[in-house]
């Protein structure tokens, strides 16, 4: 006869397994695509000038986000030791622009807890090392900064681009439709500012079109509630250079 102690231990073991690996089975946590989110430091820092310090002059990673789920396993904490070998690239390509004094650990922890624990349903992303490592790989393969330069789209203070021209140019390179995001115009601003570019991947990590449907503001703003990102309106957009940005 099976003892109550054995049944209790078995139940506990199964609960632990469910917490570690079965958390994505809930319909509420299902997702269909991954979004590689790049942001332009000059624009971000112009919007929150008091926070930035020595921002880089190239597009950086905001995150790799499943499109419909967040915080899938709150019992799976961020552990920086698991990505120790990635830290040089993380600091270079995935910096916390708004809180540079904390070595970006808080930012990466946020990205892991909110997005990485959901992306982990894929074997290719089912650990912190895999999630951050693959994010870096995708970022490097996309090479957004150099691609824009090759397309003749470079930061400028005296030249406005058309949003459709930037989007169409990226389509010619990546063969999928990206989502181009800007900061809302404020009083005194003449044109919207290019702030973020999203490129989307299927679950087998192949590029696919991004939807242009608006998502809830909280999802767009992430950990930075003061940022007013939105899908760019058709029309002119400024792609500001870093050295002209008032920091």
Q: Among positive and negative, which fits the CA dihedral 238, 243, 59, 229?
A: negative
State the catalytic residue, choosing from 38, 39, 51, 111: 111
Rounded Cα distance between 137 and 55, Å, is 22
pLDDT of 24 over the 90 cut: no
Q: Looking at residue 184, what is its pLDDT? A: 72
pTM greater than 0.85 = no
Assess whether 115 carries a catalytic annotation: yes
Domain with residue 57: its CATH number is 3.90.730.10
**Which residues neighbour 112 within 8 Å (Cβ) at sequence distance 6 or greater?**
78, 128, 131, 132
pLDDT of 130 over the 90 cut: yes
Is residue 43, in this structure, part of any structural domain at all?
yes
Q: Give tens-digit pLDDT for 29-56.
A: 789 999 999 999 999 888 776 678 889 9
- φ/ψ bin of 234: left (φ > 0), alpha (ψ from -120 to 50), beta (otherwise): beta
Q: Give tens-digit pLDDT for 72-118.
A: 999 999 999 999 999 999 999 999 988 876 789 999 999 999 999 99
Q: Give tens-digit pLDDT for 206-216.
A: 999 997 544 44
Show the 3-state SS of 28-66. HHCCCCEEEEEECHHHHHHHCCCCCCCCCCCCEEEEEEE
Q: Work out the mean pLDDT of the chain and round it to a whole number.
A: 83
Is residue 9, in this structure, part of any structural domain at all?
no
Is residue 4, in this structure, part of any structural domain at all?
no
* Number of domains the chain is built from: 1
Q: Which two tokens stand for residue 76?
A: 């799976």
pLDDT of 223 over the 90 cut: no
State the catalytic residue, choosing from 115, 198, 230, 244: 115
Is residue 8, in this structure, part of any structural domain at all?
no
Is residue 17, in this structure, part of any structural domain at all?
no
Is residue 24, in this structure, part of any structural domain at all?
no
Q: Looking at residue 5, what is its pLDDT? A: 47
Q: Looking at residue 20, what is its pLDDT? A: 43
Q: Looking at residue 245, what is its pLDDT? A: 46
Is residue 5, in this structure, part of any structural domain at all?
no
Among residues 89, 185, 199, the alpha carbon closest in space to that of 136 is found at: 89
Q: Which domain holds residue 113?
A: 34-238
Is residue 226, in this structure, part of any structural domain at all?
yes
pLDDT of 15 over the 50 cut: no
3-class secondary-structure state, position 222: coil
Q: Looking at residue 30, what is its pLDDT? A: 85
- How many angstroms separate the Cα of 102 from the Cα of each of 41, 98, 108, 109? 17, 10, 11, 12
3-class secondary-structure state, position 172: helix
**Which residues neighbour 66 within 8 Å (Cβ) at sequence distance 6 or greater?**
31, 33, 34, 35, 115, 118, 119
State the catalytic residue, choosing from 62, 81, 99, 159: 62
């Amino acid at each position: 006869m099976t003892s109550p102690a054995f049944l209790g231990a078995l139940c506990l073991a199964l609960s632990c397994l469910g917490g570690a690996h079965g958390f994505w089975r809930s319909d509420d946590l299902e997702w269909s695509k991954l979004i590689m989110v790049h942001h332009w430091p000059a624009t971000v820092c112009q919007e929150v000038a008091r926070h930035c310090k020595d921002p880089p002059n190239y597009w950086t990673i905001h995150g790799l986000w499943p499109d419909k789920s967040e915080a899938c396993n709150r019992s799976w904490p961020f552990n920086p030791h698991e990505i120790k070998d990635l830290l040089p690239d993380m600091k270079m390509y995935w910096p916390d622009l708004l809180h540079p004094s904390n070595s970006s650990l808080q930012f990466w922890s946020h990205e892991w807890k909110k997005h990485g624990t959901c992306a982990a349903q894929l074997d290719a992303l089912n650990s912190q090392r895999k999630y951050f490592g693959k994010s870096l790989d995708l970022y490097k393969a996309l090479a957004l900064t150099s691609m824009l330069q090759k397309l003749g789209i470079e930061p400028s203070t005296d030249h406005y681009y058309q949003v459709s021209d930037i989007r169409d140019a990226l389509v010619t390179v990546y063969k999928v439709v990206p989502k181009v995001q800007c900061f809302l115009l404020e009083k005194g601003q003449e044109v919207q500012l290019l702030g973020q570019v999203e490129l989307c991947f299927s679950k087998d990590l192949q590029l696919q079109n991004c939807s242009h449907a608006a998502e809830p503001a909280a999802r767009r703003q992430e950990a930075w509630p003061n940022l007013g990102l939105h899908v760019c309106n058709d029309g002119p957009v400024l792609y500001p250079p870093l050295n002209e940005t008032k920091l």
